[in-house]
Amino acid sequence: MIKSKAKLLQLTVTLTACAFLFIPTVMSVMAGVTANYFKGISSGVTLKWVFQVWELYADSIFLSLWLALACLVVTFIIGLPAAYGLARHPGWFSRVLEEFISLPLAVPGLALALALLQLYGTMKGFRTSWTFILVGHVLYTLPFMVRSILAVLAAMDLKTLEEAAASLGASPPRRFLNIVVPNAMPGILAGALTVVTLSIGEFNLTWMLHTPYLKTLPVGLADSYASMRLEIASAYTLIFFIMIVPLLMAMQWASSRAQRIAN
């Protein structure tokens, strides 16, 4: 099977790297189902900690899911027309605008959160509502939505397709619904999965913006690490994994599909 020393070396390096990444994860997950971490796995396997996490942090989990969904809706409503506008009017101005939308990626989440707090911190009702965190998430995830739709739209001759539809009697709204949206779908899907995944996992911004009554999944994670026993923190990680890994896999699939169309 293994033909040469070079191949053997490659395999060893790869496996070592994998082990380096996987073992801590596996350890952590195992800790989450171990009856007593200090005694080791021999103390028995239990789901007690997982249930306890659920009792303590179910609100965080639901808040995160709700936020991700709301974030998706908002980025879609803003992102699709924005990407369409940028694709239909290419030029230096669009490029500048695109960079501008992408700016929140370059600015650290903490700085972004600070800016939001300085500007809106005094508006009590808004400051303590979940929509405040939503604003931060939208700012952070919008460029991903816009860019992935834009990539698909830019790959086709949108102008001529629309002209063709117009010559067949389609009004501007019909052209948008029948031609632009269906053809942008792979980009929308890839963007949507990215937005949801990022929103669920976002910590930086959210940690600054959250209130004690509004903890998202990652904020709760940090909280459990800081204040709970190790088994509970580990069980929390396990729940986080179960939620995020399928999303990541779906995202991979969708973006590779979008890329195939864009090429």
Of 125 and 173, CB closest to another protein:
173
Query: Could you give the angle at the alpha carbon of 68 between the alpha carbons of 63 and 70, nearest 5°?
Result: 95
Q: Closest separation between CB of residue 161 and another protein, Å?
A: 5
Residue 108 or residue 182: which is nearer to another protein going by CB? Answer: 182
Count of all residues that appear for the chain in the document: 263
Q: Which CB, 42 or 160, lies closer to another protein?
A: 160
- Least separation, in Å, of the C-beta of 166 and another protein? 5
Q: How far is the CB of 171 from another protein (least distance, A)?
A: 6
- Rounded least distance, CB 151 to another protein, Å: 15
Residue 67 phi, psi (nearest 5)? -60, -45
Q: Which is nearer to another protein, 135 or 262 (CB)?
A: 262
CB 208 within 8 A of CB 110: yes
> Which residues form the interface with another protein (CB under 8 A)?
156-157, 160-161, 163-171, 174, 178-179, 182-183, 185
CB atoms under 10 Å from CB of 207, counted, come to 17
- C-alpha separations of 91 from 64, 65, 79, 96, 159 in Å: 38, 38, 19, 9, 14
Q: Which is nearer to another protein, 30 or 170 (CB)?
A: 170
Considering the complex, what minimum distance in angstroms separates the CB of residue 163 from another protein? Answer: 6
HSE on the CB side for 50, CA within 13 Å? 15
Identity of the amino acid at 105: L
